[in-house]
Amino acid sequence: MNVSGRPTRTIWPSADGTAVEIIDQTRLPHTFATVRLATLDDAAHAIRAMLVRGAPLIGAAAAWGLWLAIRANASDAALAQAHATLLTTRPTAVNLRWALDRVQAQLVRLRPAERAAAARVLAIEICDEDVALNRGIGAAGLPLVKAIAARKKLGEPVNILTHCNAGWLATVDVGTATATIYSAHDAGLPVHIWVDETRPRNQGASLTAWELLNHGVPHTVIADNAGGHLMQHGRVDLVIVGTDRTTATGDVCNKIGTYLKALAARDNGVPFYAAVPSPSIDWTVRDGVSEIPIEERSARELTHITGRLPDGLVATVALTPEGSPAANPAFDVTPARLVTGLITERGIAEASADGLQRLFSEK
Ligand code: MRU
């Protein structure tokens, strides 16, 4: 996507070939800053501290992390250690394990001297593939928006609600939930996006709003609790969210709060879709609620908030009484029965084992 008119990805190899560069997403929307990752520890820190975040980008960053590790030490032991280190950075997004396993499986077949070059090729491949998958999701989702637009008065926007950031910042480029949004907007369909702020880290208010603004997509930031009310009043035509892990049976694990949106959508007859690139499907899991590990993050993300002051400085302030405990589960699971469909790069699947099998019969 474009940042100040320049095509930009969220992760790329540095021009001098010795490191990887990323956008530091903890500083958006107030500052656009890039950071250089030169070591395995840099990559692990970037994922853990959420300088990079979003399931597909976490996978891509981990692949580059293996390259950084292998450059320093290409032995079998170092490869296994790097895989283990990166795997523990964040527990919920399955793309992390998917990318690490894919790179490791290729590298162990090679002699140590050949591994660094191969790891670099694989990381580039995973990044390019992510962009292609997302474009496929955009093409698959476009008819949904077209069908709603056709039922509306000429020029009346299709109102799409999205949660968290499943945009290009959560991927290498294009995004998953936003792939449909961008393809509809770029095709000239009038769309308007309700952007859930997504407490506690505010990925919606800080990141989705920033990227939609950059791309010129009409949008409105709303409090997380506003979605149900807007649905009751006919002001949401479609919900599209991303996913950190979707089970083989179509349960969708995504940012905390997604489940409540699905419940409200069902109660109001609003179609609820998840955008699901195939690396986000965990074919080994059948029951999302009991089997997917839900990341518990620091209470400080809830008890404090960061924002820009009138003088331009960015500051963090406390929100809750000192001494009140806070709990911060970062994801929840929306059962397949509440999901209208899964928008994948191969088309829209029914959210069920049969629906996914029909599109991914090789699994
Ligand atoms: O904690 P985050 O910011 O990594 O969580 C991101 C999400 O939950 C996204 O909605 C999900 O990864 C889908 S991204 C295409």
Measured between alpha carbons, how far is 137 from 345 in angstroms, rounded to an integer? 4
pLDDT of residue 122: 98
Domain boundary assignment for the chain:
2-128, 141-359
pLDDT of residue 225: 97
Q: Does any ligand 1 atom lie closer than 6 A to the CB of residue 61? A: no
Q: Do 2-128 and 141-359 come out as alike in CATH topology?
A: no
Q: Does any ligand 1 atom lie closer than 6 A to the CB of residue 148? A: no
In CATH, the architecture of 141-359 is 3-Layer(aba) Sandwich (3.40)
Sheet of strand 252-255: strand arrangement: 281-282, 245-247, 252-255, 331-334
pLDDT of residue 4: 86
Distance 167 CA to ligand 1 centre (A): 9
Distance 93 CA to ligand 1 centre (A): 8
pLDDT of residue 5: 85
Q: Does any ligand 1 atom lie closer than 6 A to the CB of residue 56? A: yes
Query: Which are the catalytic amino acids?
Result: 244
In CATH, the architecture of 2-128 is Up-down Bundle (1.20)
pLDDT tens track, the chain, 363 positions: 889 888 999 999 999 999 999 999 999 999 999 999 999 999 999 999 999 999 999 999 999 999 999 999 999 999 999 999 999 999 999 999 999 999 999 999 999 999 999 999 999 999 999 999 999 999 999 999 999 999 999 999 999 999 999 999 999 999 999 999 999 999 999 999 999 999 999 999 999 999 999 999 999 999 999 999 999 999 999 999 999 999 999 999 999 999 999 999 999 999 999 999 999 999 999 999 999 999 999 999 999 999 999 999 999 999 999 999 999 999 999 999 999 999 999 999 999 999 999 999 999
DSSP, residue by residue, 152-176: SPTTPPEEEEE-S--SGGGSSSS-S
Give the dihedral sign, CA 193/302/9/88.
negative
Q: What is the pTM of this model?
A: 0.98
